[in-house]
Amino acid sequence: MTHGEKNEAPMREVYLDYAAATPVDPEVAEAMLPYLTERFWNPSAPYARAREVRDDVERARGTVARLIGARPDCLTFTAGATEANNLAFAAVEGHVVVDAIEHESVLACAGTHARRTVRVGADGIVDAAAVARAIRPDTELVSVELANGEIGCVQPVREISRVVATERARRLEAGEDTPIYLHSDASQAAGALSVNVATLGVDLLTLSAAKIYGPKQVGVLWASEDVRLRPLVYGGGQEGGVRSGTENVAGVVGFARALELACERRGEEGRRLAGLRERLREGLLARVPSMVVTGPKSPKRRLPGLLHVSFAGVEARRLVIALERAGVSVGTGSACAASRMRVSHVLEAIGMPRELAEGSLRLTLGRGTTEEDVDYAVEAIADAVRAEMARVGTDAAAMAALAGGWGRR
Amino acid sequence: MARVFCGLSGGVDSALAAALLVEAGHDVTAVYMRNWSRDLPGFKCPWARELADAERVAVTLGIDLEVWDCEAEYKATVVDYLVDAYAHGYTPNPDVMCNQTVKFGTFLERALAAGADFVATGHYGRVERGEGGRVRLLRALDEHKDQTYFLWRVSEDALARTLLPVGEIRDKAEVRRMCAERGLGVENKPDSDGICFVGPVGIRAFLLDSLERRAGDVVEWETGRVLGRHDGAFLFTVGQRRGLDLGGGPARYVVDTDVEKNVVYVTADHDSPALFMREIALDDTCWISGEAPESGRYLVRTRHTGELCEAELDGCVLRFGEPVRRVAPGQSAVLYDGVRCLGGGIVQK
């Protein structure tokens, strides 16, 4: 390769990291824009125009509440899902139960409590019976995400809610007054799955606008009326005193519009993404048969737009750079883990061998992804992997040996 | 073709060094030396980001990148040395120690053990291989970037195994241009200046993280009058102007510090004779060739890319024809014969 070629612009730009960030949908941006410019008033100001803005915030709250089957006054808008998760954990003081592949924000919050961490299987699924065994008489919170953002598994939150209900009933019978709540971080799921709080049977639910084509730094925590939230941010008493600070009006309005669009398009878009994901998986497997796919086999148990693949003995970090040169943006796992150059805690928890984990790419598709994008990405990824295989002098047999039995399940 | 281990820091200079070696047909392995990864209050150590940039360069060049953990050596010989020197009233050059003990110490040894013929770095300096196997260190072609001031404690034996490709390039703009041409993705990174592991927090915050604050007097040099208080004489350096909290008045300069008595002496007179000196006593001298140069006239540099002044070397004493600004004890005085770096010594109190 000559230097001239190295500097040539790639033929196509393909973004395959929708789980890390989604572009703001034009309709969402359009809904937000007036609140950044002409309708800039502080919702707490006394004049009529400001009041209108306050009404708009409440309308947005109502929209989000309706879409998740909740009461509007049980919603607290936050600066993103991480803060919402923090707020959920701040509601309790005692023992908590989480699973090992939760997002860093949940694991870090759990780290400030007495806790038990439930292990997961190789497909990442949390066993409701294991949650039942982990619950102690003093457990106050169980937190299990609706879907995992790295390997795409969808957790049996409904089943886990029955476990929590059983424990609640037991405590009632026994005259114990320690409450127990179920929290679920549905940030990664809301684009693809129904997030109705009653259907899920949860007591607290986290959502993020940033993963559903809304703005970053906007999230919400829903808490049932049984839960008493404790503020982390003190001040003017906005959001029912739970989250002070002038309302992020544009953000909240954008969030509501983004969630509306997500709910409208969920079914059709989910089917489209699942088709593209299969095309991606098949295309890659045909070219690199030693590739290992991780995550639940059943389409019902996984996010439709996420494909997690591993190439044993190949360094994913080098693949990312090679792919970036070909115009393809892919993730290696959660961005938080990537910045610290550690093997992802998710891959560690599911027991993936290190040689495989270090060669893992998370490919996530979204609204902007086309068949042509997928076909281009298939060639680019296969080329990059083959080039790295040649560089380190490995082949399919050596890769299979490194992967151990992991791929053959 | 030689087997070369090239230190890759994530910066512009080492990226080009690696690229030039690959283009020259050498078998190049890139090594990221992880010397320090500690975060300070208000400063997140950027090592992971720098490593990512180094990795991008390595992938672009199609070479291996290894990460070598040099934290133990770096802590012992650079960081602890620095803190100890400050505690005793010296102002050391950590880069000089890093080059001697880590880059041209540990890194070189480990590279040779791994089968390297040479190591390479992105330093601005030139290695000249003369007859009879003698090797000399010359200033870089780009005099504004020359880093031989930091390389004076590297031995001839180490230099014999060293390649410094960037030292042959006329100016930094050219280095950036060459990086851009090669698509290395680092050409727009700012130059890193100062002590890498304290970052923008500065040496003061770093020292206060390691040493105890100790209140003492700021005393006027000429009169002995107490002008104010300071929080540790070890925090101050000869010539320093900033950081003296004397509640207004004229700008004052540190003339001297006494860490035993914990006193900082200052003057308002920028031209005070106390801020100048005619001779420097050198300690801990080190000569690249292994032999001390004969007494005589040489060029001397007491600051990175500082003016080259003529001085007379007499044993371990340097005498200047004209009075020169005082150099803080602990700094390096580096001697040159024309463009050739001979070695130097540590400025005594």
User: Taking CA atoms, what residue in B is nearest to A3?
Assistant: B182
Instruction: Give the pLDDT score at A3.
Output: 38
**Residue A339: is its pLDDT beyond 70?**
no
Q: What distances in angstroms separate CA A295 from CA A22, A165, A343, one per listed residue?
A: 22, 28, 17
Residue B150 lies in a domain: yes
Q: Is B290 helix (H, G, I), strand (E, B) or coil?
A: coil
For residues A363-381, average pLDDT: 98
**Would you say A323 and A384 are in contact if contact means Cβ atoms under 8 Å apart?**
yes
Instruction: Give the pLDDT score at B341.
Output: 98
**Residue B193: is its pLDDT beyond 70?**
no
For residues B203-219, average pLDDT: 91
- Please give the residue that has the higher pLDDT: either B304 or A8: B304
* Burial class for B115, CB neighbours closer than 10 Å (0-12, 13-18, 19+): exposed
A7 lies within 8 A of chain B by CB: yes
Residue B40 lies in a domain: yes
**Which residue among B6, B70, B98, B341 is the active-site one?**
B98
Whether B315 has a binding-site annotation, put simply, is: no
A341 lies within 8 A of chain B by CB: yes
Residue B205 lies in a domain: no
For residues A293-305, average pLDDT: 95
Instruction: Give the pLDDT score at B242.
Output: 85
Q: How confident is the model at residue B247 (pLDDT cuts 50, 70, 90)?
A: confident
User: Taking CA atoms, what residue in A is nearest to B58?
Assistant: A318
> Cβ contact (<8 Å) for B56 and A321?
yes
Q: Compute the count of residue pairs across chains A and B with CB atoms less than 8 Å apart.
A: 28
Whether B69 has a binding-site annotation, put simply, is: no
Q: What interhelical angle do B12-23 and B172-181 show, nearest 10?
A: 60
**Residue A125: is its pLDDT beyond 50?**
yes
**Which residue among B6, B179, B196, B286 is the active-site one?**
B196
**Which value, in Å, is the radius of gyration of the alpha carbons in chain B?**
21
d(CA A377, CA A384): 10
Pick among B16, B32, B51, B59 to test the A interface (most A CBs inside 10 A): B59
Instruction: Give the pLDDT score at A124.
Output: 97
> Cβ contact (<8 Å) for A3 and B51?
no
Tens digits of per-residue pLDDT, B298-332? 999 999 989 999 999 999 999 999 999 999 999 99
Residues B190, B96 share a domain: yes
Q: How far is A311 from chain B (nearest CA, A)?
A: 17
Residue B302 lies in a domain: yes
**Residue B200: is its pLDDT beyond 90?**
no
Residue B186 lies in a domain: yes
d(CA A116, CA A131): 9
Bridge-based pairing of strands A95-99 and A115-118 is: parallel
Q: Is A336 a catalytic residue?
A: yes
For residues A109-127, average pLDDT: 97
d(CA A114, CA A111): 7
Predicted TM-score (pTM) of the model is 0.84
Phi, psi for B104 (deg, rounded to 5): -105, 20
Residues B224, B164 share a domain: no
Q: How confident is the model at residue B199 (pLDDT cuts 50, 70, 90)?
A: low
Bridge-based pairing of strands B216-220 and B263-267 is: parallel
A408 lies within 8 A of chain B by CB: no
Instruction: Give the pLDDT score at B45.
Output: 73
* ipTM of the complex as predicted: 0.72
For residue A255, what is the DSSP state?
H
Whether B37 has a binding-site annotation, put simply, is: no
> Cβ contact (<8 Å) for A321 and B59?
yes
- Please give the residue that has the higher pLDDT: either A230 or A340: A230
Residues B55, B136 share a domain: yes
Whether B12 has a binding-site annotation, put simply, is: yes
Residues B168, B74 share a domain: yes
Tens digits of per-residue pLDDT, A180-218? 999 999 999 999 999 999 999 999 999 999 999 999 999
Q: Is B196 a catalytic residue?
A: yes
Q: How far is A270 from chain B (nearest CA, A)?
A: 34
Whether B33 has a binding-site annotation, put simply, is: yes
Whether B178 has a binding-site annotation, put simply, is: no
Pick among A2, A315, A319, A321 to test the B interface (most B CBs inside 10 A): A321
Residues B259, B191 share a domain: no
H helix and E strand count, chain B: 9, 17
* Separation of first and last alpha carbons in chain B: 48
- The CATH number of the domain holding residue B249 is 2.30.30.280
**Residue B192: is its pLDDT beyond 90?**
no
> Cβ contact (<8 Å) for A7 and B48?
no
DSSP line for B78-147: IIHHHHHHHHTT----HHHHIIIIIIIIIHHHHHHHTT-SEEE---S-EEEE-GGG-EEEE--SSTTT--
Task: Tell me where in chain A the CATH 3.90.1150.10 domain(s) lie.
Answer: 10-23+266-403
Instruction: Give the pLDDT score at A80.
Output: 97
**Which residue among A109, A153, A263, A336 is the active-site one?**
A336
Range of the domain at B134: 3-200
User: Taking CA atoms, what residue in A is nearest to B65?
Assistant: A318
Q: Which amino acid is at B149?
A: Y
Residue B206 lies in a domain: no
H helix and E strand count, chain A: 15, 12
Instruction: Give the pLDDT score at A180.
Output: 98
Instruction: Give the pLDDT score at B84.
Output: 95
> Cβ contact (<8 Å) for A318 and B55?
yes
Residues B295, B245 share a domain: no
Residue B207 lies in a domain: no
**Residue B59: is its pLDDT beyond 60?**
yes
Nearest to A144 by CA among A167, A118, A168: A118
- Please give the residue that has the higher pLDDT: either B129 or B46: B129
Residues B174, B70 share a domain: yes
**Domain count for chain B:** 3
> Cβ contact (<8 Å) for B55 and A7?
no
Q: What distances in angstroms separate CA A120 from CA A141, A153, B174, one per listed residue?
A: 18, 11, 54
Tens digits of per-residue pLDDT, A33-75? 999 999 999 999 999 999 999 999 999 999 999 999 999 999 9
Residues B259, B279 share a domain: no
Domain end residue (candidates: B200, B221, B240): B200
d(CA A350, CA A122): 5
Residues B171, B110 share a domain: yes
> Cβ contact (<8 Å) for B183 and A318?
no
Phi, psi for B142 (deg, rounded to 5): -85, 100
Q: How confident is the model at residue A102 (pLDDT cuts 50, 70, 90)?
A: very high
Residues B158, B258 share a domain: no
Instruction: Give the pLDDT score at B35.
Output: 87
- The CATH number of the domain holding residue B65 is 3.40.50.620
A333 φψ region: left (φ > 0), alpha (ψ -120 to 50), beta (else): left
Strand segments, DSSP code E, in A169-255 are 181-185, 204-208, 219-223
Instruction: Give the pLDDT score at A1.
Output: 37
Domain end residue (candidates: B200, B233, B252): B200
For residues B201-216, average pLDDT: 87
Taking the mean position of all CA atoms in its chain, how far away is CA B299?
19
Residues B162, B64 share a domain: yes
- Contact list, A317 vs chain B (CB under 8 Å): 52, 55
d(CA A32, CA A184): 27
- The CATH number of the domain holding residue B338 is 2.40.30.10
DSSP line for A40-82: ---TTSSSHHHHHHHHHHHHHHHHHHHHTT--GGGEEEESSHH
- Contact list, A7 vs chain B (CB under 8 Å): 181-183
What percentage of chain B exceeds 90 in pLDDT? 82
**Would you say B94 and B55 are in contact if contact means Cβ atoms under 8 Å apart?**
no
Chain B residues touching chain A at CB-CB below 8 Å? 48-49, 51-52, 55-56, 58-60, 62, 181-183
**Residue B204: is its pLDDT beyond 90?**
no
Task: Tell me where in chain A the CATH 3.40.640.10 domain(s) lie.
Answer: 26-262
Pick the CATH number of A10-23+266-403 from 1.25.40.10, 3.90.950.20, 3.90.1150.10, 3.40.50.2000: 3.90.1150.10
Instruction: Give the pLDDT score at A61.
Output: 98
- Contact list, A325 vs chain B (CB under 8 Å): 60, 183
* Separation of first and last alpha carbons in chain A: 40
Averaged pLDDT score across all residues of chain A = 94
**Would you say B118 and B163 are in contact if contact means Cβ atoms under 8 Å apart?**
yes
Q: What distances in angstroms separate CA B72 from CA A191, B48, B78, B106, one per listed residue?
A: 48, 18, 10, 11
A342 lies within 8 A of chain B by CB: no
Instruction: Give the pLDDT score at A338.
Output: 42
Instruction: Give the pLDDT score at B56.
Output: 92
The owner of tokens 């320090």 is B36
Question: Domain A26-262 carries which CATH code?
Answer: 3.40.640.10
Residues B280, B233 share a domain: no
> Cβ contact (<8 Å) for A321 and B55?
yes
